[in-house]
Amino acid sequence: MKKVKFLTPVLALAALAFVGCSSDDNKDVAPAATRLELKDPAQVALTFPATRQKQTIEILTDAAVSEIRVSQVKASADEADAGWCIVKVESASEISVEASDNNGTAFRTATYAIQAGSLTPIEFTVKQDFIEPENTEMSISLAADSYGSYTFMAPAAGGDVSITTVTTTAHQWTAIFCDWRGDPIENEEALPAYCTIKTPSGASGEALILTFQPNAAFSMQSGAMVKISSGNAEPFVIHVNQDMPLATSAIVMDADCTEVYQSPHAVSFQKDASTASKLVFGVEANGSCEVKFVEVGTTTEVSEPWLDSQYRGVDRIWTVYPSSANETGSDRSLDVLLTGQNGVELFRLKVTQAGA
């Protein structure tokens, strides 16, 4: 019995020593972070003026400051690294964001991710303004005609239609309906009835969009003029028309409209005929027509035809001509169709060009 009483205190001391060592080994291990969020959710998107400015993002987290990291995710499209923006972890609750002066001619952006331990990162974006230029440069994607004018033909079906993309070095562009002098139309009764401006302003690279009513008349809608302005750049004026509905019938005649042709009608060109050798037809249709180049005797469209064609429903003139001389060594043939509603064939022109 005495031996047992002697051993019991020894075992107790050993157990205490074991517990004490285990506690010492883990006392410096920090608990895993369980919370990471923005104190103000609106700070997920920061905006800065063109001049240098510093802002502070407040975060709520139980992570130690040593566990908090911020890394860049994306910069502006033309930058590999947003060196103009400096982001620092100031404490376990604050992150500073400082943008330097923007002397460029466009907005610049960057995206960053806040990380804490293994928690899901929080991304925030930085967008910085630019100084309005003294002299604005502006361009549009719509091509001018041979007279230097800008004209757009919208489809008869109506709806939202993108007229042109506007590029400017200023902050934005604006669009208004104007009269033939370029002055704004202030009388609502004088505004066009068939369309409205859906995007009266936009940033560089954005599109001018107009909303059109469906055209139920058998004539083209015309008269609307849209003036695009930006800063002190020279404005653009676009004549905006709306096509008539697709036709359900068409009569094709000679250029003088004295002889009516029956479909199909055959014509031919010489070997050396090209763009200068045009055949001109008059067309009477109860709507607009579309031109299609197809394989002979079929409705299978040809992707690279050797023919060119122009159809102007307003003038009721249809021209057809070879795009080049025939160097194949043999005759070549194509059919040209005038089609209307639902792609229905209204007239077929059978065209052959000599090869020898």
> Domain map of the chain by residue range?
36-128, 138-242, 250-353
Q: In the sheet where 221-229 sits, what is the strand order?
A: 150-154, 236-242, 221-229, 173-177, 201-202
Superfamily of domain 36-128: Immunoglobulins (2.60.40.10)
Express as a percent the part of the chain with pLDDT over 90. Answer: 74
Gap between the Cα atoms of 168 and 252, Å rounded? 46
Structure tokens at 311: 């159809």
Where does the pLDDT of residue 163 fall: very low under 50, low under 70, confident under 90, or very high at 90 and above?
very high
Q: How far is CA 325 from CA 274, 277, 287, 351, 355, in A?
A: 5, 10, 34, 14, 9
User: What does the pLDDT read at residue 9?
Assistant: 46
Element (H, E) at 113: strand 108-116
As a whole number of angstroms, the distance between CA 98 and CA 327 comes to 67
- Please give the CATH topology (third level) of the domain spanning 250-353: Immunoglobulin-like (2.60.40)
Q: Between the ranges 75-84, 100-109, 121-130, where is the mean pLDDT highest?
A: 121-130
Instruction: Give the residue ranges of DSSP H helices in the chain.
Output: 2-26
Residues in Cβ contact with 326 at an 8 Å cutoff, skipping those fewer than 6 apart: 271, 272, 273, 306, 332, 353, 354, 355
Confirm whether 36-128 and 138-242 share one CATH topology. Answer: yes
pLDDT reported for residue 288: 85
- Please name every residue paired with 294 in a beta bridge, in sequence order, or none if there are none: 301, 335
10 pLDDT higher than 90: no
Lowest mean pLDDT among 129-133, 176-180, 224-228: 129-133
Query: How much is the pLDDT for 26?
Result: 54
Statement: residue 80 has pLDDT above 80: no
Average pLDDT over residues 27-37: 78
- CATH annotation of 138-242: 2.60.40.10
Query: For residue range 263-302, what is the model confidence (pLDDT) as tens digits?
Result: 999 999 999 988 788 999 999 988 888 999 999 999 999 9
Instruction: Give 203-229 pLDDT, tens digit per residue.
Output: 999 999 999 999 988 788 999 999 999
pTM for this predicted structure: 0.62
Residue 238: its pLDDT value, please?
A: 98
